[in-house]
């Protein structure tokens, strides 16, 4: 058993920045971070593009960034949240710099600002094409300096401990020795990232299995807008399932062209912004082109660009392509859309509170109202920074009488040490079938017929897993699969309920291509 004041599940920018701030504010209190891989592994780490923040007020303004966000969200953003997040941006950026994060500057010593799809101005602060990696590095370095923060890596949160709509912590599997711990906390923060592995073809790391959302759903927290899933238009097509290498949006912002196999620049048929249209438009356009042509991918042409400048901006992309035989100076890059970001999730209020008392959520696992139907490029790290600070402000100013004393007498049915181990090959087969089902029936373009078929199959799989759980010891693969199926059910249910297309949600009557 573990007792802590603040339990943080997840080690991306959202969880880590909250941990740092609350640790400094309350040096006498205990903060515990639980992460199922090592602490460095998170969706944050894989964010190539950067953070969208207004820093050049001569050419840019808060209002321009606000309007770009609202347009991209297709009428479903909470404008008050949009204004709050964008106007706080510069303060949060300065905190990162104070913690040691470094961002690219131009010859004049100003931020070298990038431009991405949906933005009207250059405003993306970046560290080459590894911005997330740099932010994670800097914050983790600070976290390890704090005496009152404990990081439990290779620990998997199985379920939340809850009673009477109050959260008291979580049940955790130590993946090293297979023991199960009960971690009791005054406050619990879910910062568990995205859901990409539900689709298989994704830019997310393999740890992105929607665990926080699924756990919150099981204790009846409000979950909202799971139908709004962003597919990144340009993941490298490499004939391999799993985490896909991302060709950053900033490459199109730099001037790359999208072309068919025959060299036709097809975005002119879909949007006047061409390659700088928002991600939903480009992903849907590519999906339609591929269905019309029967081809496996489209291409990103960078051959006309200044390669000296290109390689300075995108060294990782250049080298990765080179390592698999693609010479960007003369070859086109094969690309396809891949699941990239979830705009919905655990519903939170303006303080980051969920509908369950003493449970908070932040980052991609939360639904704040910032993104609406479609996230504007590079707004995600900004949202995580602002809302982790919002939760910190709320909790640091809370009256002590509102503090929930941890309960340690709640019963759990998880401890099953004497049962036989579950067979991983069974789980692996079901996982592959799940991912194919989600790509085919709940992907970029959906229809009610396919969604209903998916719903029936997903519910059948969930029942099958529940039967297995009664007779076998669960392991990480089992609990992840259970969470992924739960996420699939939520996506399908919310997709069936939505009648109008907005942003990243596109549903049609069953079509023939």
Q: Which of 239, 195, 233 is nearest to 217 (CA)?
A: 195
Class of the domain covering 422-506: mainly alpha
Termini Cα distance of the chain: 57
Q: With a cut of 50, which residues of the chain have pLDDT below it?
A: 413, 513
How much is the pLDDT for 352?
98
Q: Cα dist. 315→300, 307, 346 in Å?
A: 17, 11, 36
Check if the beta carbon of residue 426 is closer than 8 Å to that of residue 477.
no
How much is the pLDDT for 48?
58
Per the rule left: phi > 0, alpha: psi between -120 and 50, beta: everything else, 446 is beta
CATH 3.50.50.60 for domain 1-225+342-394: yes
Check if the beta carbon of residue 72 is closer than 8 Å to that of residue 117.
no
Residue 388 CA to residue 292 CA, distance in Å, equals 44
Residues contacting residue 392 through CB under 8 Å, at least 6 positions apart: 18, 21, 22, 25
Report the number of secondary-structure helices (H) and strands (E) in the chain. 13, 18
How much is the pLDDT for 237?
87
Catalytic residue list:
279
Q: Which of 407, 387, 473, 465 is nearest to 180 (CA)?
A: 473
pTM exceeds 0.95 for this model: no
Domain-by-domain residue ranges, the chain? Answer: 1-225+342-394, 246-337, 422-506
- What residues are paired with 342 via a beta bridge? 229
Q: Which of 378, 389, 393 is nearest to 15 (CA)?
A: 389
Check if the beta carbon of residue 181 is closer than 8 Å to that of residue 7.
no
Element of type H or E holding 5? strand 2-9
Burial (CB count <10 Å: 0-12, 13-18, 19+), residue 249: buried
Residue 6 CA to residue 431 CA, distance in Å, equals 33
Query: For residue range 174-200, what is the model confidence (pLDDT) as tens digits?
Result: 999 889 999 999 999 999 999 999 998
Query: For residue range 78-99, what is the model confidence (pLDDT) as tens digits?
Result: 999 999 999 999 999 999 999 9
How much is the pLDDT for 414?
55
The CATH number fitting domain 246-337, selected from 3.30.70.890, 3.90.700.10, 1.10.540.10, 3.40.50.300: 3.90.700.10
Residues contacting residue 150 through CB under 8 Å, at least 6 positions apart: 4, 30, 31, 32, 33
How much is the pLDDT for 239?
63
Q: Cα dist. 292→252, 285, 437 in Å?
A: 23, 11, 21
Q: Which of 60, 52, 115 is nearest to 85 (CA)?
A: 52
Check if the beta carbon of residue 486 is closer than 8 Å to that of residue 462.
yes
Residues contacting residue 402 through CB under 8 Å, at least 6 positions apart: none
């Amino acid at each position: 058993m573990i007792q802590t004041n603040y339990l943080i599940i997840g080690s991306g920018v959202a969880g880590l920045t909250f941990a740092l701030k609350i640790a400094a504010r309350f040096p006498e209190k205990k903060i515990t971070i639980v992460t199922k891989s090592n602490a460095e592994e998170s969706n944050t780490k894989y964010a190539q593009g950067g953070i969208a923040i207004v820093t050049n007020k001569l050419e840019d303004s808060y209002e321009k960034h606000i309007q770009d966000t609202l347009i991209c969200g297709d009428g479903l953003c909470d404008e008050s949240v949009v204004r709050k997040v964008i106007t706080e941006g510069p303060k949060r950026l300065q905190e990162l710099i104070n913690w040691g994060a470094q961002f690219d500057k131009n010859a004049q010593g100003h931020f070298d600002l990038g431009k991405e799809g949906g933005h009207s101005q250059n405003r993306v602060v970046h560290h080459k094409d590894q911005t997330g990696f740099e932010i994670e590095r800097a914050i983790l370095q600070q976290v390890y300096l704090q005496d009152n923060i404990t990081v439990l890596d290779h620990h998997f949160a199985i379920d939340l401990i809850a009673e009477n709509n109050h959260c008291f912590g979580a049940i955790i599997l130590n993946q090293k020795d297979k023991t199960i711990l009960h971690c009791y906390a005054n406050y619990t923060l879910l910062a568990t990232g995205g859901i990409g592995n539900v689709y298989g073809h994704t830019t997310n790391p393999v740890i992105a299995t929607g665990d926080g959302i699924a756990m919150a759903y099981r204790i009846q927290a409000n979950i909202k807008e799971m139908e709004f899933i962003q597919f990144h238009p340009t993941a490298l097509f490499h004939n391999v399932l799993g985490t896909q290498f991302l060709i950053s949006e900033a490459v199109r912002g730099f001037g790359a062209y999208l072309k068919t196999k025959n060299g036709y620049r097809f975005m002119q048929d879909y949007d006047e912004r061409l390659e700088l249209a928002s991600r939903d438009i480009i992903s849907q356009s590519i999906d339609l082109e591929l269905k019309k042509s029967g081809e496996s991918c489209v291409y990103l042409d960078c051959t006309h660009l200044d390669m000296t400048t290109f390689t300075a901006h995108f060294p990782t992309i250049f080298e990765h392509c080179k390592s698999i035989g693609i010479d960007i100076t003369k070859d086109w890059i094969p690309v396809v859309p891949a699941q990239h970001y979830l705009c919905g999730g655990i519903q939170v209020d303006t303080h980051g509170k969920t509908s369950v008392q003493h449970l908070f959520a932040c980052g991609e696992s939360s639904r704040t109202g910032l993104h609406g139907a479609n996230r504007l490029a590079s707004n995600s790290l900004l949202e995580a920074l602002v809302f982790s600070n919002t939760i910190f402000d709320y909790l640091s100013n809370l009256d002590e009488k509102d503090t929930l004393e941890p309960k340690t007498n709640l019963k759990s049915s998880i401890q099953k040490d004497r049962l036989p181990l579950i067979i991983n090959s069974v789980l692996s087969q079901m996982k592959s079938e799940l991912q194919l089902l989600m790509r085919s029936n709940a992907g970029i373009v959906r229809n009610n017929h396919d969604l209903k078929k998916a719903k029936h199959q997903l519910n059948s799989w969930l029942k099958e897993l529940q039967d297995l759980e009664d007779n076998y010891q669960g392991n990480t693969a089992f609990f992840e699969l259970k969470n992924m199926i739960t996420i699939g059910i939520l996506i399908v249910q919310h997709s069936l309920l939505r009648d109008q297309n907005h942003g990243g949600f596109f549903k049609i009557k069953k079509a023939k291509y």
